[in-house]
A and B are shown apart, each in its own frame.
Chain A
Amino acid sequence: MSSDPSVEAPREDEAASPDDAAAAPTAGPGGSLASNFLHNLWSANTVVVTIWSIVLAMVIGAVLIVVSDSDVLAMFGYFTARPSDALTGSWDLISGAYADLFKGAVFDPATMSAWLHGTGSWRAAFAPISETLTYAAPLVFTGLSVALAFRGGLFNIGGQGQAVIGTITGAVAGFAFGLPVVLNLVVALICGALGGALWGFIPGILKARTGAHEVIVTIMLNNTAALFLTWLILQDGVQDPKRTDAISKTVAESAQLPSFGGALRVNLGIVLAVAVTAGVAWLLNRSSFGFELRAVGANPAAARTAGISVARTYTLLMVVAGGLAGLGGATQVLGTAYALTPAVAGNIGFDGLLVALLGRNRPWGTLLAAILFGALRAGGNRMQSFSGISLELVTVLQALIVIFIAAPALVKAIFQLRAARTARIGATMTKGW
């Protein structure tokens, strides 16, 4: 499972953050790597809870797979007579499904060995990972948007709306300006970010000036953005003249995020996502603004007493968070969709909330969580077509993972983890309210 290394990593990356001190290994320096690992496996730190949450979600997912399959369910009807039927049937079903999930998300041994033996193409071999990263890229941006806002004490539910505006400004810049090669893409991306930033500025300034709760405002702005998009697509100059349905002109090729190797869908977006993650990590931990936003997020009263302008911080923070989500939208439309449709942004804004939650609001954690969600989505496609399991199961898996993370006490109780400071995980997530 690709998730294990992915959730391990945030610890090394942000040693400066105080929360990480709690998660740091407690075994003595003399302990070997293995004993360290075993020691930590049962201590209830954030990383361990995350891993067990994923395991737990997959166990429940397995039950759901069995229950939703009528053939295997029928075998359970004569379980007492021939239990082996039901058990092997269930096992085959579950292992087949999760194998497909893996093959669709990471790599398929068959295509991989075919490529190594010269009978298959490298494209087929790398297609799964390409799909994973393609789905992950926009989620990284929207996840970072939510995570950054949250560190500043704001609950940015508006990632969706900001991303939608980002797709609009990004796409329009992409097909309208007709700039030369590199410039066109850069301008389109910047326009996407600016669009999102504007959409973030509105709740930010309202919060700072009037105290309007950002959750309410951003939810309203999500609807506003979505409806604006459906209206805009049908307008002259935006709608594709050759089409009668709701689709815009196609983004100029020079404004599209270049993909690697032609046949693969994965594009420059994921590289940009990693770079932006590094940027956000720097912003949060090394910049003066990051210091301000963390102080405001943790204790606005003390921040204000120390001379930090809380209103300015809130406004600026929402602008940056909106810009990130807008960039996510732009990546979506310039990287894979190439044209505006009413559903062009999919669900990336709302998935960003879950990604940030899973990544514990840390930049690198968010990146890894986005990749995990991308993997589930990519693998889910294969699981659906090969094992006949509905794609919705993936959504259920994502939801279960997040539920377990949000309820660390539950995971702790189920696995009897040693007492550690897991309570903080839950506490920090609800603080925005």
Chain B
Amino acid sequence: MANDHIDITVEPGEVHALLGENGAGKSTLMNQLYGLLQPDEGEFLVDGRPRTFRSPRDAIAAGIGMVHQHFMLVPVFTVAENVALGAERTRGGVAGWLDRRRVRREVVEVSERYGLPVDPDALVENLPVGAQQRVEIVKALTRDVDLLILDEPTAVLTPQETDELLTVMRSLTESGKSIVFITHKLKEVKAIADRITVIRRGRTVGTATPETPEDELAALMVGRDVTLEVGKAASQPGREVLTVTGLIVEDDRGVRAVNGVDLSVRAGEVLGIAGVQGNGQTELVEALMGLRAARAGAVTVDGEDLLGMSTKQILRSGVGYVPEDRSLDGVVKEFTVAENLVLDTYDRAPYGNAVKLNPAAIAAAARERVEQFDIRTSSPDAPVSTLSGGNQQKVVVAREMSRPLRLFIAAQPTRGVDVGSIEFIHGRIVRERDSGAAVLVVSSELDEVVALADRVAVMYRGRVLAVVDPQTPREELGLLMAGVTPGADKPADGVTPGAGEPADGAEEEPK
């Protein structure tokens, strides 16, 4: 059950923040309101009248609009075409043609009225993420909505873009629109919300005002006093294991996503890579794992050259890898838990050889891992798709940690994972470090990077801007993530000549 008897009221002209962790049921609630899911029980009242929403069409008719976490735009359409999509207006009767002029006019009008600069003729695929989001908002506003649902709108934005969004939200509420702002980021809530409803495990656990202190909100959200700290001893860095020098990697469109990265990770330490998503982290890790060709540079593990090795060889040489997109790259959903646990070791003793598998050994190992890693499953033979996200992630982590590792690379290791599993996975990562492996953690959650890392490298537009201590003040880290280096007062665009198109956001993959 994702939602269990939730009560929530949104007043006209207010920003109502829906605060809760990943998987708390925030999005589920809003998807019901928007007609994408049907509630089993309970009702929605709009202006005092009960309404049922069988589809988004009903919701829009009732004046409710939604901007999804993952944008619902057609990349090859222009902004105006995307805005028109779903509410196309035609001229000339039944066999009419699209009234593009009118849509354009509407787009311009709405964007001027609410301070949302968008070019109606730009192709959506060429727009950075922040602009795509504005298109989504404009689209909702042209439908004359009174209530706008923003589902985790800041997850993909730089701090600056986030500020711009908050300004837009203010101008919207000033003109009488209500906003439901779904997030798990406390600072933003405090900055913009008029009222806060905290949701935990599908229940409303409290309402709060923006004056409530942050740690109190965090405690409400998680259900106990949270220590964002990960219990770990000081690191004992040993030999240099991973060395990356001058690495250049192109993304799928041939743009340099990684533009000359130098890194080194020592045995027994965790290097965290912080940065807003889409600044080359994905491509960096894929290049390290042999999943993406590098244009230039060198990558060595204990002196062995990784570039040019196949993924299989890299994995065999003692590198463990947790990919950032679990459902796409991490697990084969149709496979059983046991099969997923040997996905990259199925042809090695004792699980099998080049010719055949050894089902008995695979089953025995699966039972052991399920136990060790506390994987909650009905059976090792259950399809992995029947597991929760957190447990699927534990399967991936268990698989990668089941062999001796020199280097452990974890990208977004706790994305979409429940709190219990987060703690467990973090604990395991630290344990891997303490056993002498070099660990590279990439995360767009700054909290996670800071909690896990012994050193933090901040990536911006394909470059490592700085490697800093995790104790560095948040403001400074935030500025670095936005491309502002200490001492300089403007973004570091100028220092990356030849970086091609802006890297941020454009390579966001649709989920």
Contact = CB atoms under 8 A, between A and B. Distances in A.
Contacts of B356: 286-288
Contact of B336 (A18, A286, A289, A299): A18
B244 interface: no
Interface stretch (B73-81, B308-316, B477-485): B308-316
Given A305-B330, A306-B315, A309-B310, A286 B359 contact: yes
Contacts of B312: 307-309
Contacts of A299: 328, 331-334
B284 to A, nearest CB: 15
A110 interface: no
Contact of A307 (B311, B339, B352, B355): B311
Interface stretch (B169-177, B207-215, B341-349, B466-474): B341-349
B332 A302 contact: yes
A21 interface: yes
Contacts of A302: 328-332, 343
Given A288-B354, A288-B357, A303 B332 contact: yes
Given A305-B321, A305-B323, A291 B344 contact: no
Q: What size tier do the contact residues of chain B reach? A: 35 or more
A306 B344 contact: yes
Interface string A2-26: 0000000000000010110100000
B335 interface: yes
B329 A291 contact: no
A307 B335 contact: no
Interface string A268-279: 000000000000
Contacts of B357: 286-288, 290-291
B335 A298 contact: yes
Interface string A285-329: 011111110110011011111111100000000000000000000
B383 interface: yes
B205 interface: no
Contact of B315 (A16, A19, A301, A307): A307
A298 B334 contact: yes
A294 B335 CA distance: 9
Q: What size tier do the contact residues of chain A reach? A: 20 to 34
A283 to B, nearest CB: 9
B355 A18 contact: no
Interface in A208-252: none
A399 B496 CA distance: 62
Nearest to B326: A302
A290 B347 CA distance: 11
With a 10 A CB-CB cut-off, give which of A289, A290, A305, A308 has the most chain B CB atoms.
A305
A314 to B, nearest CB: 16
A287 B351 CA distance: 11
B343 A306 contact: yes
A15 to B, nearest CB: 9
A306 B341 CA distance: 11
Given A295-B335, A307-B315, A288 B289 contact: no
Nearest to A287: B356
A301 B335 contact: no
Contact of B343 (A19, A287, A295): A295
Contacts of A287: 355-357
A165 to B, nearest CB: 28
A11 to B, nearest CB: 15
A288 B347 CA distance: 6
A306 B329 CA distance: 8
A305 B315 CA distance: 10
Contacts of B311: 304-307
Nearest to B382: A21
B353 interface: yes
B354 A18 contact: no
B333 A305 contact: no
A382 B222 CA distance: 74
B291 A304 contact: yes
Given A288-B352, A288-B357, A305 B332 contact: no
A295 B345 CA distance: 13
A286 B359 CA distance: 8
A305 B291 contact: yes
Contacts of A290: 357
25 contacts: A16-B359, A19-B334, A21-B383, A287-B356, A288-B347, A288-B354, A289-B355, A291-B346, A291-B347, A295-B332, A295-B335, A298-B332, A298-B335, A299-B334, A302-B328, A303-B343, A304-B291, A305-B291, A305-B311, A305-B323, A307-B310, A307-B315, A307-B316, A308-B344, A309-B310
Closest 9 CB pairs of A and B: A307-B312, A306-B344, A305-B329, A306-B343, A298-B334, A307-B311, A299-B332, A288-B347, A18-B383
Given A18-B383, A291-B352, A291-B357, 10 more contacts: A288-B356, A288-B357, A289-B355, A303-B343, A304-B311, A305-B321, A307-B313, A307-B314, A307-B344, A308-B312
